[in-house]
Amino acid sequence: MFESLRQKLNQFKQTVNNKERALDDAEVGTAANDATPLAEGLEEATSEAYTPPAVHVDEAVEAPPSAEAPTQGVMQGETVRPTRGKSLFEREIKEKDLEEPLWDLEIALLESDVAMSVSEEIVDTVKRELIGTKRKWRQDVGALVERALRDGILKVLDVNGLDFDELIKQAPKPVTIVFTGINGTGKTTTIAKVAYRLKNQGYAVVLAAGDTFRAGALEQIERHADNLGVKLIKHQQGADPAAVIYDAVQYARAKHKDVVLADTAGRIHTNVNLMNQLKKIERVIDADLVVFVDEALAGNDAVERALQFNTAMAIDGSILTKVDADSRGGTAISIAHATNKPILFLGLGQKYDDIVKFNPQWLVNRLFGEAET
């Protein structure tokens, strides 16, 4: 998971560390060359014979300084080094030293499906945090670089928070959630996973078969409802999806159910008629939550689709599927920032419990190779 992006981030860390080490070594070499004339001059000064001045008998006689006495300020037997303040012991990370690595980082992020605006913001954060940072001579700066990278990624994931569990707990019942997205991204399976999770938390769930367009869609969601033991409200194929969802909400109110999870037809965001259908659902159903579902493998296409769906029917958050097969990781970083709406869950497999509540720190830990906590 996210292996490609993880490697690129680690490569950036190593590049910056190697560059800073090379600068240290170069400075030490310069210092060694500068020290030679000073040492030679000192040797000449201390090797000259000393001739004491003539004195009268009645004058206080002081012992002449020894010819072996070291020059003032230099301890006898001490190796002479150039005076360079703290330059050999402490350095600042400079902007000119980061120009090439930061450019490589931005390209690496773009290659990992991170949207351009998101890549630029991450690079800017890393740049601000590293430039001017003081470090000790030959210090491994990998930890400093990783901290800057973590901060940059967490910053772009820091959008208006929405706690899914808290919303379900606090909102008046029934809570109505409408799921949207394109074909083939695992939307119906995701609905079943959310239903499984809510049922295990003690909520009474109703499914609404609002995908009346795709052949086999009714049978698919009906099979999930049977497996989970939850109520399904459906009409015949081709029926008005807004009417199906409306009936499901009315049933949930009458039977004192807690949550309605409404499926909708998968649609391409360029299909005007189907996108208008979403607008009708929005007018008929006052949904508590509209969730956009797409697969992490879609990369920047998922970001663009989320923006298009958000225009047709304002979304409140996203769920990314097939994250376990995503080696790049850029979609998970980009989609929240681009839509300014949080990622709610990540789908990690085909089983009903293969879904995790999204936590930005969880993602960042994965990108830097840490185990799940």
The mean per-residue pLDDT over the stretch 12-29 comes to: 74
Q: What are residue 262's DSSP bridge partners?
A: 178, 208
| Cα 335 to Cα 129: distance, rounded to the nearest angstrom | 24
Percentage of the chain beyond pLDDT 70 is 77
Question: Which token pair is 279?
Answer: 């607008």
Evaluate if residue 276 carries a pLDDT over 50: yes
Q: What are residue 321's DSSP bridge partners?
A: 295
pLDDT digits (tens, 9 = 90+) for 290-322: 999 988 888 778 888 888 888 777 889 999 998
pLDDT bin (cut points 50, 70, 90) of residue 355 is very high
Question: Which token pair is 264?
Answer: 């909708």
Query: Looking at residue 297, what is its pLDDT?
Result: 84
- Looking only at the bridges linking them, the beta strands covering 231-233 and 205-208 are parallel
Question: Which token pair is 298?
Answer: 């879609």
Q: What are residue 345's DSSP bridge partners?
A: 319, 357
DSSP 69: P
The mean per-residue pLDDT over the stretch 73-98 comes to: 58
Query: Looking at residue 57, what is its pLDDT?
Result: 43
* Domains of the chain: residue spans and CATH: 3-76+84-157 (1.20.120.140), 164-360 (3.40.50.300)
The mean per-residue pLDDT over the stretch 90-112 comes to: 86
Least confident residue range of 57-61, 92-96, 230-234, 330-334: 57-61
Q: What is the pTM of this model?
A: 0.76
Within the chain, where are the H helices?
A: 3-47, 95-111, 116-130, 142-157, 164-170, 187-200, 217-228, 241-254, 272-284, 300-312, 330-339, 360-367
CA end-to-end span of the chain, whole Å?
A: 16
- Cβ neighbours for 189, distance < 8 A, ≥ 6 positions apart: 224, 321, 347, 350
Evaluate if residue 69 carries a pLDDT over 90: no
Nearest to 230 by CA among 209, 204, 258: 204
Query: Looking at residue 107, what is its pLDDT?
Result: 92
pLDDT digits (tens, 9 = 90+) for 209-259: 998 888 788 999 999 999 999 999 999 888 889 999 999 999 999 999 999
Which residue type is seen at 65? P
Evaluate if residue 80 carries a pLDDT over 50: no
Query: Looking at residue 296, what is its pLDDT?
Result: 84
Judged on CB neighbours under 10 Å (0-12, 13-18, 19+), 189 is buried
